[in-house]
Amino acid sequence: MKPHMAKGSRSRSAVPGRLSGWAPATALLLAVTTSCTGSAPGSGAVVGKPGTAGVGDRLFPALGNGGYDVVHYGLTLDYVPETNHLKGTAVITARATEDLSRFNLDLSGLRVRTTTVQGARAKVACSGDEMLVTPAKTVRNREVFKTVVTYDGTPRTLKDGDGGMEGWIETDDGSTALGQPSGSMTWFPGNHHPSDKATYDTTVTVPKDEDGDPYDVISNGELITEEDKGRTVTRHWRTEEPMASYLAHVSVGCFEIHQGGTDDDVPVYVAIDPDEAEDSADVADLVPEIVDWAGKRFGPYPFSSTGAIVDHLPGLDYALETQTKPYFGEAPEETLLVHELAHQWFGNSVTPREWKDMWLSEGLATYAEWLWEEGRGNRSTTEIFEDFYDGTDAESGGIWAFPPADPPSGGRVFDPPVYGRGAMVVHKLRRAVGDETFFDILRTWTRQHRHGNADTRQFIALCESKSGKDLTALFHTWLFDKKKPSRM
């Protein structure tokens, strides 16, 4: 993600309104959990226990669920833009990590119609943004099990107090779905935490408009089939590589499609809203250029396709690195395109294990912008570092508010320290170990944790083993110390 700094360095998540709304839901859920435990049938039989209602993330305790790991989401959606009505079937294939008498899915604002687990009708109770699913039979540890949920309703836009929005958002010609940190629960039930990555098949049926033209549907991964059924069109997109649910995406609307390829033959799919076409004339050429440039520095491109979506969504105050095709609500600046494409390596392929590790995603994506600017012959990375340190760079406001690897709770993980000071840590590291070791560290990082999750401790350990240096003081000062570090 990158907030639009030109409109101020506000964080859309910094306002406590929505976040404080989660706390009562969690409290209520705990009460429900207690009463359900006592109703397990039989004695002495293996009945398992309920999975937890969150994965225990320090910054977002209610997100995700315990007791299972999703392998695949099969999402079949019917969407009518005129009425903003969504009807969905989610087939969730998961592996249990304990005996489960019950487990939770995160879903916000939609009506659940039916739920089955392993083909048998399951009991469902909904509490806040949590679905409590009690299968007919205990799911055994390590069992791969299928949950099918049918649901419908008007999908929600989640908003915070200063107008920032995520979730399902209506546009002037359709809709878009953005999920950082929690918006994906507004359009499909799941385990909505970055630590649980899965592959996806997303099939969306939309009607034709009044002129008989079909709406376009763009999603992550590759377009597998497109079927004209007369009054409707169905498009099937597949994401073959694991994806954190905050990166799952669907855009419905009118788009001009540009297809091409990178030097390494990675297919490029760029979708541009006609209202943004004039200002986005260079995007279709820049995407492969940036992906090739980044591949030389960060290691091979991690996914089977790349691209971008430039929509027309005035008022969206950020861009998002939705997997394989980052999303922009307006024509992007070149460095913003670099930032979101760099996330395909840092954040999307190597995903933070917890939200507090987000500096590994945002700090490295921001540093990619610095490298790009240096490569274009503008400021050197050292000059940019100095401009951030002195506060003269336009994006340096607020970067000393807290240490980047220890963000306060309440959604401030999207605040400037995680980006600006996060990139400064990366520059300090590069200066300490030299260019050769530095880029070796980045390429090793993306290779070792490709399509997985990783954390700050692992990054520090890699930097020390590659460089043979004790980097404790550097990381302590720049990542964890509350004070503004001295220049040295």
Q: Is 413 in the site for Zn ion (CB under 5 A)?
A: no
Stretch that binds Zn ion, among 15-23, 94-102, 355-363, 480-488 (CB under 5 A): 355-363
CB of 418 to Zn ion, least distance (A): 9
205 vs 245, which CB is nearer to Zn ion? Answer: 245
Q: Is 368 in the site for Zn ion (CB under 5 A)?
A: no
For Zn ion, give the closer residue by CB, 3 or 253: 3
Q: Nearer to Zn ion by C-beta: 365 or 462?
A: 365
Indicate whether 102 belongs to the interface with Zn ion (CB under 5 A).
Answer: no
The nearest distance, CB 15 to Zn ion, in angstroms, is 19
Q: Tell me whether residue 236 or residue 353 sits nearer to Zn ion (CB atom).
A: 353
Of the listed pieces 52-60, 265-273, 354-362, 377-385, which binds Zn ion according to CB under 5 A? 354-362
From the list 1-9, 50-58, 168-176, 404-412, the region that binds Zn ion by CB under 5 A is: 1-9
Nearer to Zn ion, 286 or 474 (CB): 286
Residues 249-278 that bind Zn ion (CB under 5 A): none
Binding region for Zn ion (CB under 5 A) out of 111-119, 136-144, 356-364, 471-479 = 356-364
Residue 17 Cβ, how far from Zn ion at the closest point, in Å? Answer: 23
Pick the stretch among 19-27, 32-40, 218-226, 364-372 that binds Zn ion (CB under 5 A).
Answer: 364-372
Least separation in angstroms between residue 476's CB and Zn ion is: 25
Euclidean distance between CA atoms 417 and 399, whole angstroms:
4
Complex with Zn ion: residue 201 or 362, whichever CB lies closer: 362
Closest approach of Zn ion to the CB of residue 319, in Å: 8
Q: Is 2 in the site for Zn ion (CB under 5 A)?
A: yes
How far apart, in whole angstroms, are the C-alpha atoms of residue 483 and residue 477?
8
Distance CA 196, CA 187 (A): 17
Pairing of strands 120-121, 350-352: unpaired
SS3 assignment for the chain: CEECHHHCCCCCCCCHHHHHHHHHHHHHHHHHHHHHHCCCCCCCCCCCEECCCCCCCCCCCCCCCCCEEEEEEEEEEEEECCCCEEEEEEEEEEEECCCEEEEEEECCCCEEEEEEECCEECEEEEECCEEEEECCCCECCCCEEEEEEEEEECCCEEECCCCCEEEEEEECCEEEEECCCCHHHHCCCECCCCCCCEEEEEEEEEEECCCCCECEEEECCEEEEEEECCCEEEEEEEEEEEECHHHCCEEEECCEEEEEECCCCCEEEEEECHHHCHHHCCHHHHHHHHHHHHHHHHCCCCCCCEEEEECCCCCCCEEECCCCCCEECCCCCHHHHHHHHHCCCECCCEEECCHHHHHHHHHHHHHHHHHHHHHCCCCCHHHHHHHHHHCCCCCCCCCCCCCCCCCCCCCHHHCHHHHHHHHHHHHHHHHHHCHHHHHHHHHHHHHHCCCEEECHHHHHHHHHHHHCCCCHHHHHHHHHCCCCCCCC
Piece of the chain touching Zn ion by CB under 5 A; list 71-79, 134-142, 330-338, 365-373 = 365-373
**Binding footprint of Zn ion, residue count (CB under 5 A):** 4
Q: How far is the CB of 368 from Zn ion (least distance, A)?
A: 10
Single out the residue of 365, 384, 442, 463 in contact with Zn ion (rule: CB under 5 A): 365
Nearer to Zn ion, 196 or 362 (CB): 362
Whether the CA torsion 291, 292, 294, 299 is positive or negative: it is positive
Q: Which is nearer to Zn ion, 288 or 347 (CB)?
A: 347
Does residue 12 touch Zn ion according to CB under 5 A?
A: no
In the complex, minimum distance from the CB of residue 180 to Zn ion, in angstroms, rounded to a whole number: 9
Shortest distance, CB of residue 346 to Zn ion, whole angstroms?
A: 9
What is the nearest approach in angstroms of Zn ion to the Cβ of residue 332?
A: 12
In the window 298-327, what residues touch Zn ion (CB under 5 A)?
none
Q: Does 1 bind Zn ion (CB under 5 A)?
A: yes
| Closest approach of Zn ion to the CB of residue 218, in Å | 20
* Residue ranges that bind Zn ion, judged by CB under 5 A: 1-2, 362, 365
